[in-house]
Structure 1
Amino acid sequence: MTVTEKDRDVLARTLWGEARGEGLAGMVAVAWTIRNRVYDGKDTSWWGEGYAGVCGKPSQFSCWNKNDPNNPYLTGAKKIPAAEFARCQLAAQQVIEGITPDPTDGATHYYSTSMTKPPRWVAGAKQTSRLGLHIFFKDVP
């Protein structure tokens, strides 16, 4: 699959919106959940096609929801601080190019422990790892 500049940009923006406070390791882990969806082995994936398609799939990454406070930064209405965005771009590059191994053991889902209660999809899913405020899962029913 060809990874476009749009894919790289959207992935980096998603990392900023979802994991900027988690450091490089946390952003890499979130990026791997996205990569695991991109490369799910299906010709036409429910997740969407490419990094931009997966990140932009409605209701999958809350930072892209129109009512999310991060959304104006992701859409360009507000500017993401350059140093913060550079770290997100680095994490995105490391995952897209396969430089950093998958710390999530194939996770396709995660949630933040800052949520008041776990999402419904956790029931029956296999927890693979926990890093910072994120808990990662695969085999989500």
Structure 2
Amino acid sequence: MTVTEKDRDVLARTLWGESRGEGLAGMVAVAWSIRNRVEMDLHNDGKPDWWGEGYTDVCRKPYQFSCWNRNDPNYQFLSGARAIPFRELAQCRIAADQVIDGKVADSTGGATHYYATTMPKAPDWAAKAKRTLKLGHHVFFRDVP
């Protein structure tokens, strides 16, 4: 699969919006959950999956990563309307590149989902998925086969 500069930028911006306070390990874990979606063929049919194809589609799929929702306070930064501080975006880009380039192992155990522990309650989907990791303020899951 070809990964474009836009894919790398969108993944880095998604990491900023979703996990900038989680340190490099937390950002890498979120990036792996996205990469796992990118690489997964949900029905083993070779056809496009509902959450999109490639990093840009997966990250920007409506209602999957809340930072891309137009009503989210992060959206103005992710869309480019406001600038993300250079050093913060650079750290996110490092995490994105490490995961895309396969330079770091998947610490999430194949997770394709996560939620922030700051939410008032766990999302309903979490009851049907296998918990693979708790890291910082995120809990990671993969679907049960």
Correspondences of 1:94-133 after superposition (within 5 Å): 94-133=98-137
**RMSD of aligned Cα (Å):** 1.1
Out of 86, 90, 96, which is 2:90 matched to?
86
Distance 2:129 2:104 in 1: 25
| Aligned position for 1:14 | 14
- Length, aligned pairs only: 141
Regions of 4+ moved over 2 Å: none
| Aligned position for 2:35 | 35
2:72 equivalent to 1:63:
no
Distance 2:111 2:49 in 1: 16
Comparing 131-140 and 90-99, the one that deviates more: 131-140
Superposed CA offset, 1:62-103 (max 9, x none): 000000000000000000000000000000000000000000
Superposed CA offset, 1:110-131 (max 9, x none): 0000000111101121000010
Tell whether the 8 Å contact from 1:10 to 1:55 is kept in structure 2 after alignment: yes
Distance 1:133 1:97 in 2: 25
Distance 1:50 1:56 in 2: 10
Superposed CA offset, 1:26-50 (max 9, x none): 0000000000000003521222010
Tell whether the 8 Å contact from 1:122 to 1:140 is kept in structure 2 after alignment: no
2:39 equivalent to 1:24:
no
Amino acid across the alignment from 2:13: R
2:74 equivalent to 1:47:
no
How has the CA–CA distance of structure 1 residues 109 and 140 changed in structure 2, closer, same or farther, with 3 Å as cutoff?
A: farther
Distance 1:74 1:97 in 2: 22
| Aligned position for 1:134 | 138
Segments of 5+ residues of structure 2 without an aligned counterpart are none
Distance 2:119 2:144 in 1: 18
Percent identity between matched residues is 67
